[in-house]
Amino acid sequence: MRLRLPWVLVSVLLPFAAAVSAQPAGDGSKSKSKNVTTKIGEAHFEAPLPSGVPLRLYVRSGDIRLVGADDGKISVDVSGKNAEKVKDLKHRLTVLDGSAEFHLSGGPKNEFQITIRLPRNCDLFLRVPAGDVTVEGIFGDKDIELHAGDLSIHVGSPDEYAQVDASVSAGDVDASPFGESHSGLFRSFKKSGSGKYKLHAHVGAGDLTLL
């Protein structure tokens, strides 16, 4: 399957809010540092990432390729026929202590490709509404879901995994490294092993391939 695809200010509250914000934190309270980077209307985005942090990505529909790299940052490039129509494209990266979250939304409707480069050694959580998605060169836990379209994940050696579950609601599951192939409605398989990584992959309607 291929998819081409008022603020109203109440003055009486202001002194109270100021008083609350001025109070010191109680003993044992913890605050997380937060760094937010946002860009709008650009075909290229990049920002550094702390080493080893888990990544949560929420990416708009499209032809998407995620690739592992060694440069300690996240970078996004948009290319293709409609790549120049990026005025509504929004990149937002939020880095907290111990985690990072990236959102990519807006942009051209179709006929363009998104390439996202990430640190190759990271735990990846990815959600995409629809499209053709490829993930390769990422070593770590993977939790990936696509509502509709084709999802391909390069898993490397099956011996590196402690737990694998893969499923489609309607479509094909082809996972030759794990000796599994299924077609139809609500198809899935689970595996356990002696490795250190976990893999969860799901496609709603479409094909799931583990390479």
Are 135 and 174 in a shared domain?
no
Per-residue model confidence (pLDDT) at position 79? 85
Which residues form the domain of 208? 154-211
Each residue's pLDDT tens digit, 79-124: 877 666 778 889 999 998 888 999 999 887 777 899 999 999 999 9
Per-residue model confidence (pLDDT) at position 81? 75
The alpha-carbon radius of gyration of the chain (Å, integer) is 20
Per-residue model confidence (pLDDT) at position 21? 33
Domain count, the chain: 2
Mark which of 116, 140, 164 sits at the end of a domain.
140
Whole-model pTM over 0.85? no
Each residue's pLDDT tens digit, 153-194: 999 999 999 999 999 999 999 999 999 999 999 999 999 999
Are 171 and 75 in a shared domain?
no
Half-sphere exposure of 167 (CA within 13 A, CB side): 11
The reply to whether 186 falls in a domain is: yes
Mark which of 111, 140, 169 sits at the end of a domain.
140
Are 42 and 92 in a shared domain?
yes
Element (H, E) at 76: strand 73-79
The reply to whether 8 falls in a domain is: no
Give the whole-angstrom CA distance, residue 45 versus residue 53: 19
> In the block, which residue shows the tokens 């100021």?
18
Are 179 and 85 in a shared domain?
no
The reply to whether 23 falls in a domain is: no
Are 78 and 172 in a shared domain?
no
Give the best-scoring range by mean pLDDT among 27-31, 35-39, 59-63: 59-63
The reply to whether 65 falls in a domain is: yes
Per-residue model confidence (pLDDT) at position 164? 97
The reply to whether 200 falls in a domain is: yes
The reply to whether 15 falls in a domain is: no
The reply to whether 17 falls in a domain is: no
Q: DSSP letter at 179?
A: T
| Torsion over CA: 127, 128, 132, 133 (sign) | negative
* Averaged pLDDT of the chain: 84
Give the whole-angstrom CA distance, residue 105 versus residue 59: 6
